[in-house]
Amino acid sequence: MNMEIDKMNPKEVLNKINKDLESYKNAKIKCGIIGRSGTGKSSLINAIAGEEIAEVGEIETTVNLEDPIESNGLLFYDLPGCSTSNFPKEDYIKEFKIDEFDCVILVTADRFFEDDLYLIKELLAIKKPVFIVRTKIDFSIERGLKRGVLGSATYKKIFENIEENIKGLEVNGIYLTSADHPKKFDFSRLLEDIFFSLNSFKKERFIADINITSQKILDEKKRIAEKTVMRHSALAAANGLNPIPGLDISVDLALVVKMSKEVQSIYGLGKEQQAFNIQFLDKKSAKFIASIVLQYSTKYGGKEAIMILLKKVGSTLATKSASKWVPFVGQVIAAGIGFKMTSWLGKDMVKDAEVIAIETFEAIKESVD
Ligand SMILES: Nc1nc2c(ncn2[C@@H]2O[C@H](COP(=O)(O)OP(=O)(O)OP(=O)(O)O)[C@@H](O)[C@H]2O)c(=O)[nH]1
Ligand SMILES: [Mg+2]
């Protein structure tokens, strides 16, 4: 990549950045969630997105392939188990267009049946990544504890049971999860493994859009947030639409505002994600986190706030270097004052958003341990 950038002139670099930003923004990850009614599919979808996008409850949902459950680039196709659908198992993959999915999560709250195993084999034959999820592990462990069985023993027994149940089929992994405890058991490993199974922009989009349930996910989010900052900054500086008063420089403010929104979204600072998190927080933490989220959105929300921050940062920046970004945008763009200003501000956004995400992550961790 560095070599590539070195050989391009600034205009070509900007074109590439523009194209990459569009690809990232428009990337969609199609994820099939397959399982019987009541196994916890909707709860799992919500836990992945960190947002209540699927209705959880006793009413069986209908399948609509044209209208998946969405959160940014994540598209979830909530499908009935192979044996419970109205289609012969031979037609299942074709009927539900599973060929077009990026990954398939097979969900059970107990075991898999012959028809499920048939489906797994077919999916593996067409090289679909298959993730095996056994939900409600919290419930099973609790029941075990009542009978005097250790939690770790119950976990091990269920894991081995599922392993045995799927008879050596080469799936991507087996995960025991609880929607009520997204930071415990195997939930974050599931997200990390899906992430690693994806390519290029889908990978970026996926990590940007998922719930923060591990340090590793936080680390990956930071990388993507910084990349997003770099891309927006290069384009905002090149567009140069809005003069910054008192400085001989113009940037595209609308793009800087978009950058701020994207960083907020990556770190789950939006209303919906915050509302979802509340169920995992005690009152004191919820109040504190709400206050720092509000501070953040006041500081970085809207063109006027951004203009003030750019003015502040701009007067001290002419001499500062932006060498960190050189491999991505090349010397010429990295040396521009407009780029330095916007990327500097963007780095502050990422730093502040990360602090909030860590506070939230820690508070959630404590409340379930
Ligand atoms: N204890 C526990 N309960 C869960 C878990 N996941 C789901 N549930 C509960 O199980 C019930 C069904 O969950 P849903 O997520 O609606 O299941 P579903 O597979 O989407 O069900 P349908 O839409 O009817 O097919 C709800 O009451 C959930 O709260 C879990 O991991 N642990
Ligand atoms: Mg459902």
pLDDT tens across the length of the chain (369 residues):
555 787 889 999 999 999 999 999 999 999 999 999 899 999 999 999 999 999 997 666 666 777 899 999 999 999 988 877 777 888 899 999 999 999 999 999 998 888 899 999 999 999 999 999 999 999 999 999 999 999 999 999 999 999 999 988 999 999 999 999 999 999 999 999 999 999 999 999 999 999 999 999 999 999 999 999 999 999 999 998 898 888 888 999 999 999 999 999 999 999 999 999 999 999 999 999 999 999 999 999 889 999 999 988 877 766 666 678 888 898 888 888 899 999 999 999 999 999 999 999 999 865 544
Domain boundary pick from 180, 207, 234:
207
Ligand 1 pocket, mutate which of 42, 84, 142, 187 (most atoms under 8 A from CB): 42
Are residues 200 and 220 both part of a single domain?
Answer: no
Could you tell me the maximum CA-CA distance found in the chain, to the nearest angstrom? 74
Question: Domain range holding 231?
Answer: 212-368
Residues 67 and 54: beta-carbon distance below 8 Å: no
Q: What is the pTM of this model?
A: 0.95
Are residues 49 and 197 both part of a single domain?
Answer: yes
List the CATH number of the domain containing 158: 3.40.50.300
User: Total structural domains in the chain?
Assistant: 2
Question: Is residue 16 assigned to a domain?
Answer: no
| Closest-lying ligand 1 atom to the alpha carbon of residue 135 | 31
Residues 299 and 352: beta-carbon distance below 8 Å: yes
Question: Is residue 193 assigned to a domain?
Answer: yes
Are residues 113 and 148 both part of a single domain?
Answer: yes
Closest residue by CA, ligand 1 atom 13: 40
- For residue 227, give both structure tokens: 């990349």
Extended strands (E) in 155-269: 173-176, 242-243, 250-251
Ligand nearest to the CA of 139: 1
Q: CB of 139 closer than 6 A to ligand 1? A: yes
Are residues 198 and 248 both part of a single domain?
Answer: no
Domain boundary pick from 207, 234, 264:
207
Are residues 157 and 95 both part of a single domain?
Answer: yes
Question: Is residue 99 assigned to a domain?
Answer: yes
Are residues 148 and 250 both part of a single domain?
Answer: no
Domain boundary pick from 207, 230, 255:
207
Q: CB of 57 closer than 6 A to ligand 1? A: yes
Are residues 283 and 180 both part of a single domain?
Answer: no
Closest residue by CA, ligand 1 atom 24: 60
Closest residue by CA, ligand 1 atom 17: 40
Are residues 360 and 290 both part of a single domain?
Answer: yes
Are residues 84 and 195 both part of a single domain?
Answer: yes
- For residue 149, give both structure tokens: 């069985």
Task: Name which of 182, 162, 164, 159 is nearest 281 in CA terms.
Answer: 182
